[in-house]
Amino acid sequence: MSACKIDGRDFREASYPAVPTPANFQNNALTVANLGHATLLMNYFGVRVLSDPVLFERVGFTIDSVLTIGPHRLIEPPLRPDQLGPIDVILITHAHMDHLDIRSLKALPRSTTVIACEQCGRLINPLGFYDVRELKWGQTTVVKNLTITALGAAHWGTRWPPFGRSYGFNSYLLNRDGVGMFLACDSADTNLFARLHDHPPEVAAFSIAAYDPWIRNHANPEQVWRMFTETGARYLIPIHWGTFRLSKEPIDEPMRRLLAAAGDASGRVVLRSIGGTWTLPAAVRTRTTDATAR
């Protein structure tokens, strides 16, 4: 590893297998890059989507848009904000500071549509975004032919615990061209997601860490694997691991336990590295769109 600087601060440079190259993402596919924590950069058949953007060295309380007091990244961001390329949609699952990061939002174009949970507009609207849409569970909106439906989770939304205002928390079901992706909010063990099984998405992203000692709000890897299989999805993208130290479990434990829980089906766990990029196989896309057409 070699040293580098971000915002004037030294990092130990991560040994990324590759750095995402958004300019090469094709508009006729679903491509997903893992930027660390819950931040996924997607080209969803031509619609550029960014989830829970956390793009700087820390998350927490920001002073004057420059100084942030809070947890420090263990691994540098794979891309700077100016390397993301155009973004059509930002998805905010909940108001916790490691998901709704004001400094990161300020670094993104105000022309981007922001989809957020209930009450989060009061945090986002002052930033100057032209189109901010709050969704309640069960509500749907459409951006550039990408359908976005808000669903529930077993979590909570307070931003300043234990005294802060309560905000909503959303999972999201995305669909375009008949191809579905489920982005789960942080969640404790629940059977809420089993209702997706009748019309399963191709891909599901689940948080896999922060369960020790927060098991009442964050499922452990074995629970995540069961919840994933209940959705009926083909592929699992693990998120919310390896970027910040927010809990007591060893930093590499969540992925090890997840793969052990998956056993012989571990090949369904994709995008296992921060900085990695994955594209939904063309054969899956073809089968899905053919079935939708029928």
pLDDT digits (tens, 9 = 90+) for 208-241: 999 999 999 999 999 999 999 999 999 999 999 9
Q: Is the torsion defined by CA of 254, 188, 167, 232 positive or negative?
A: positive
Residue 14 has pLDDT above 80, yes or no: no
Query: Does the structural domain 3-293 have CATH classification 3.60.15.10?
Result: yes
CB 76 within 8 A of CB 4: yes
User: How many residues make up the chain in this entry?
Assistant: 294
What is the distance of C-alpha 203 from the center of its chain? Answer: 12
| Tokens standing for residue 181 | 């992706």
Residue 228's φ and ψ, nearest 5 degrees, are -60, -50
What band does 158 get if pLDDT is binned at 50, 70 and 90? confident
What band does 10 get if pLDDT is binned at 50, 70 and 90? very low
d(CA 61, CA 243): 18
Residue whose entry in the numeric block shows the structure tokens 């594209």: 279
- Whole-prediction pTM value? 0.90
Each domain of the chain, given as residue ranges in start order, spans 3-293
What band does 290 get if pLDDT is binned at 50, 70 and 90? low
